[in-house]
Structures are given as structure tokens and as C-alpha cells.
Amino acid sequence: MPQEDRPNILLIVMDTARADHLSCYGHPHPTTPVLDQLAEEGVRFATAISPAEWTVPSHASLFTGTFPSRHSAVNQHRYLDGRLHTLAEVLGRLGYHTACFTNNAFISEATGLNRGFHLTDGPFRWNGSRQPSHLLWRGMRKLTQWTGRKDQGAMFTNLLVYRWLLRRWDGEQPFFLFINYVEPHMPHRWIPEPFRRRFLQLNDLEDADWRSVNMNYRAFLTGATVMDEEDFAILRALYEAEMAYLDHRIGQLVAFLKRQGVLDNTVLIVTSDHGDNLGEHRLMHHAYALYETLIHVPLIIRYPPAFPAGMVVEQIVQTHDLFPTILHLVGVDEPTVWDQVQSFSLLPDHLSAHPDYAVAELMRPINEFAERYPDFDFSPFDRELRAYRTRRYKYIWASDGRDELYDLVQDPGETDNLIHKRPNVATKLRQRLLAWMEAHPIEASTVTEVPEYDDAVLARLRDLGYVE
């Protein structure tokens, strides 16, 4: 494919965004008018499943087109080694300008997830810097805090993207921009006041003391902090507010691209790495489970030359299907790249090749409670999980034998485990999943020593609750 015929690629990950909290996916409140419009102008995938439940493995899958069992960037080994081609590497070899703007410190040199990007930047990386522009940023951030407009980074991230497009992109070669926004991620402390007030009111919680609600998932899961239904109602209202605010910022970015005359020649993709538990299943955070709250994510693609406006795809797809989709769109013909792919193109004329199921993998977690809560019994969480999801059923295999089966049509909230009530269905899906696992063995990473996290990464992970 000639260079001039290749489109720009803009891949937006709304970190921790659940599909069921977008209004175009059926949420009763108007959380996402901008994304609703993008869905009308492009394709919305109604059942997009992430292959993992948290940031590192889900992004590694997104960037390589493989399952966690293949790329090995998982709980016990949080690093993407060099065995596999990344999307940024492949596009860079085709002459793309590649840039990564991230608000999640896990997408960085510390995990190898930024491999192939010519530039990796994000507001959190400026903490402690003495550069004049970074000092100015910190001053502006304090001003937004005093005026009730501080956020988790979306506003300044957009400014970085605008500056990059205006000053560093030459306009001749296509670009690949990756943006990770973390507004839907806890803690929900920094939501611009108009959005917070609006969604507390919509949920009849305008008088609630949202500042006192626990947002520490470890404290909840260990029982150190007790939470009732009103607490979780407040968290869900704040989550809606974060989604609405992020939708607003994405709208500003889309408007900028339109003003620059590049929107219609850009494959605009909006998705998520995983969802979040907001009290469902007596869980908080995105760990220890493979329920729909964690793996059912939004996926919208707008690119008029290849995706018809207003199309809704009902069949099951996965987020790492984006890897071969982009390879097809830009004309990649490297055999070794295609050899690694464990996913399927999302182009309309390729959808018939998709399987009728999706798989998600949760590798053995790290006990992150031991130091702060030494008496907490971690054993119920100390296990591996695999989920085999069809249009109707989900079978969850557990390494400790506590398997689960749910009828997603009759029980979308996954509250009634049918493992003993529908043994024939359970046996059939278990056999399918075990056959899939045999065909997809766990591969060991080739890297034994990974980079240490620097102060900026640690500070950001602390902000997001990953580090206490």
C-alpha cells in the first residue's frame, strides 16, 4: 500500500470503562453523548470482551494481538518482553509517526508496554521535573484544584496531543496516536464540580457526603471498612460523572481533529482495557474475577472508508481483534507479524470468520494484602481463572475447583451460579474451554529481570490505588 494511502490511527483507551455505563450501550442516564454520536457515525460492537481483567495484560494483548497466556505480561510478571511485535513497532516500520500519551503509569518503560513509540508522555511524568513547561503545568494544576476543575489528567493530556499534532507531526507521514485516559479509574476524588453535582442529583444523592465514601478496595475486601448500598450508589454516581466528563474531553479532541482536517482520514477507535466492580459480587476494583463488570467493554470504530455509519455488530468480538484489524487497514504483509496473531479482523467483510465465543484469562494474582493486612485470608483469591463466553452462557474455570456457569440472557448480573443446575451445559462448555486451554499453553517470558519503577511511576500508581 502506498504511504499516501495509509490512514492515521487514533486508539483511545478509556481505562476502567464498563460498557454498561455508556448511554449508547443502554445506560439510563446520558453519560456519553459524544461517544453516542461517534457510534452513529461508525460501528459499535455490542459485545466486546477484553482478554484480561486489568491494565497490564489487557494492554499487552491489545498491542500484540495475543492472549495473556502467550505474551506473559501478567500479575506475577508485569513486563512485555521482546518476543512479539507490538503495534507501534509494526506501524513505525511502515513510516508512521508514533506517540503514546498515557495517564496510567503501567503504560511506560517500566512494563515494556510503550515499546515502539517514538514518544511516550503524560502529565504524571512531569512531577518533580524542573523544566519551565512542567513547572507551569504544576501551577495550572493547582489552579484547577482551587477552582474545582481538577481532573485525573484528561485536560492536560488533550493539550499535549494538540501540541504534538501542531508542532511535531509533519503532516506528510501518517500518525499512530495512542491515548490512555484514566477518568473512570478510582479514586473518584477529582471530578470537575458541574459533572459531579449533575450525576449525584440524577441519582437522588445531591445531599450525600461523597467525600467520606471509602475508595480503598483493600480496606473493603479485608473487612477493615464496612460499606452499605448507599456507599456503592454514591460510587456509581461518581463513576457516571467521570464517564460524562471524559466523554466531554473526547468530544473536544474530536472537534480539534475535525478543525485540522484529519478526522475523516483517521481510524478513530474508542475502547477500554477492562471494567470495574462497584459493589457487584461484593467486590471492588478490577481483580480476582472475570465477571461482565470487568471484561465487557465498549468498542466503537469510526472510519467512513471502511466502517459503515450506524452499524451495530452483535456477535462476540475481543479487544485484541484490533491488532489484525489495523494490520489489514494499513497493508501489513510481514509474515512473522501475522504468525503471532491470536485474534480476528473486525472489518465488516471479515466478521464471518470470527468464532462464536470469547476467552478471558486471569493468571495467579499477587497477594497485595500481606503487608498491610497480615491476618487477611487471601486463599479465596489465590487462584487462576479462565472464562469461556458465548452469546448466552459464560463458563468460568477456576484452578481451585470452584467453577461457575451463568445464563447471561436470563441473568445478566451473574448472580445465579448454574454449575450444578445445568450439568449438561456445564460439561459441554468445560470441555470446550479445556480444549482451548490445551491449544493455548502458558508461555514463559524470556525476561527475568525487569526495570525498577522510578519515582514518577510509583507516585502515579499510588494515586490510582495500586500502591499503598
Structure confidence at residue 171 (pLDDT): 87
| Angle, helix 55-64 to helix 322-330, in steps of 10 degrees | 30
Q: Return the closest-CA partner of residue 283 out of 363, 380, 203, 360.
A: 380
Distance (Å, whole) CA 359 – CA 49: 8
pLDDT tens column, 421-462 = 999 999 999 999 999 999 999 998 888 777 788 888 888 888
> Would you say 81 and 115 are in contact if contact means Cβ atoms under 8 Å apart?
no
Confidence of residue 139 (pLDDT cuts 50, 70, 90): low
Both ends of the chain: CA-CA distance in Å?
Answer: 49
Structure confidence at residue 135 (pLDDT): 52
**In angstroms, how far apart are the furthest CA atoms of the chain?**
66
Q: Does the bond joining 187 to the residue before it have cis omega, within 30 degrees of 0?
A: yes
39-48, 137-146, 211-220, 454-463: range with lowest mean pLDDT: 137-146
Distance (Å, whole) CA 92 – CA 116: 7
Distance (Å, whole) CA 174 – CA 456: 31
Residue 295 has pLDDT above 80, yes or no: yes
* Count of other CB atoms within 10 angstroms of residue 467: 14
Distance (Å, whole) CA 213 – CA 404: 31
Distance (Å, whole) CA 292 – CA 278: 12
Confidence of residue 128 (pLDDT cuts 50, 70, 90): low
Distance (Å, whole) CA 12 – CA 200: 27
Q: Which CATH number fits domain 3-356: 3.40.720.10, 3.40.50.1100, 3.40.50.300, 3.40.1160.10?
A: 3.40.720.10
Which has more confidence, 419 or 155? 419
pLDDT tens column, 393-408 = 999 999 999 999 999 9
- Classify strands 311-318 and 43-49 as parallel, antiparallel or unpaired: parallel
- 326 Cβ contact partners less than 8 Å away, ≥ 6 residues apart: 9, 87, 91, 267
Confidence of residue 350 (pLDDT cuts 50, 70, 90): very high
pLDDT tens column, 281-290 = 999 999 999 9
In the numeric block, which cell numbers belong to residue 37? 454520536
Structure confidence at residue 146 (pLDDT): 47
| Angle, helix 193-202 to helix 229-259, in steps of 10 degrees | 130
Structure confidence at residue 122 (pLDDT): 86
Q: Is the dihedral of CA 193, 194, 196, 201 positive or negative?
A: positive
83-92, 155-164, 301-310: range with lowest mean pLDDT: 155-164
Mean pLDDT over 236-252 rounds to 97
**Mean of all residue pLDDT scores within the chain:** 93
206-210, 339-343, 359-363, 384-388: range with lowest mean pLDDT: 206-210
Mean pLDDT over 212-232 rounds to 96
Distance (Å, whole) CA 160 – CA 178: 12
Distance (Å, whole) CA 36 – CA 413: 24
Structure confidence at residue 141 (pLDDT): 58
Residue 371 has pLDDT above 50, yes or no: yes
Confidence of residue 129 (pLDDT cuts 50, 70, 90): low
Residue 220 has pLDDT above 90, yes or no: yes
pTM of the model as a whole = 0.95
Residue 125 has pLDDT above 90, yes or no: no
